[in-house]
Amino acid sequence: MTMTSEQAAWFADTFEKLVGNVGQAVLGKSHVIRLTFTAMLAEGHVLFEDAPGTGKTSLARALAATVQGSHNRIQFTPDLLPSDVTGVTIYDQKTQKFEFHKGPIFSNIVLADEINRASPKTQSALLEVMEESRVTVDGTTYEAGRPFMVLATQNPIEQAGTYRLPEAQLDRFLIKTSIGYPDHASTVQLLGGSNLKDRSRDLSPIITTQAVADMADLAATTHIDPAVLEYISRLCEETRNAPETRLGVSVRGALAMVRAAKVWAAGQGRNYVLPDDIKELAGVVWTHRFVMDPEAEFSGATAEAVLQRVLNEVAAPQQRANV
């Protein structure tokens, strides 16, 4: 069943309210907030590559407050163990039974701070829960619930003592983006309210976590024409065939684009996806999935430039009227 025009209008109105509410805590970053909510409603995850002090923690708290969800922050360090993330099974001598103590990953919004500082073994603890929203410990599977989203951060400046995220993990992030520093007007507003250490505490919830799950289910019914699906497939194929890349966009990346585009279109009040939606999201959904050829990269080639060339060369289907 395809989303109706009335449902699309309601979705867009609610989406705007969510973005506006978080915008009270994270000033001047409406586009980043839209991308983050797009990932949440597409049931994906976001990787932020930012310098410290740009508001990533504030964003996570504001998201949780807006949807009445739980929030946890995990500081990734070299000595962090997988059980510190997922939880551990402990033997209770009183009951003479093993009990599972859930780790911080069991929250609606999980901030994985400086994820690239943990060892690959600990990073891999996130693979199952990011892909399937569940955790398996000692042979028993535990559901993470809905909504569930990982907001991971990595510092692009200090690389000493860090571990590069493997391609398999990067591929599990729906979106990679950057918050960046606020503009001049937003900075002045922040400085004027310096007494407010955490603006998210004053936020009123807009919807419940169950409503978020319902919105995600509704967004999945957004119509996407077969011609647009073919367009996505051709773009992915061209990124794989590009001489500058060793690996282009995977099938998981193509599916991620479909999910993200459906939410993005519904967020603008449409019950159908346009090729322009694909073009607008291509950079944040796809470039982090590229594995560049070292020689081409040394010569100055970038994932962004390769993707832009592919977008220019592959003809988009003609946009059709409303469904």
Domain 11-206 coded CATH 3.40.50.720: no
Domain 222-315 coded CATH 1.10.8.80: yes
What number of residues does the chain have? 323
Instruction: Output the pTM of the full model.
Output: 0.90
Q: What is the pLDDT of residue 122?
A: 87
Q: Where in the chain is the domain with CATH 1.10.8.80?
A: 222-315
In whole angstroms, give the CA distance from residue 307 to residue 242.
9
In whole angstroms, give the CA distance from residue 281 to residue 276.
9
Task: Check if the beta carbon of residue 107 is closer than 8 Å to that of residue 143.
Answer: no
Q: What is the pLDDT of residue 312?
A: 95
The phi, psi pair for 315, rounded to 5°, reads -70, 130
In whole angstroms, give the CA distance from residue 221 to residue 126.
28
Which helix (H) or strand (E) segment holds residue 122: the answer is: helix 120-123
pLDDT tens for each residue of the chain, 323 residues long: 889 999 999 999 999 999 999 999 888 899 999 999 999 999 999 999 887 777 888 899 999 999 999 999 999 988 999 999 999 888 888 888 888 899 999 999 999 999 888 888 888 888 888 888 888 888 888 888 889 999 999 887 666 556 778 788 888 999 999 998 888 888 888 788 766 777 777 888 999 999 999 999 999 999 999 999 999 999 999 999 999 999 999 999 999 999 999 999 999 999 999 999 999 999 999 999 999 999 998 998 999 999 999 999 999 998 654 54
Q: Where in the chain is the domain with CATH 3.40.50.300?
A: 11-206
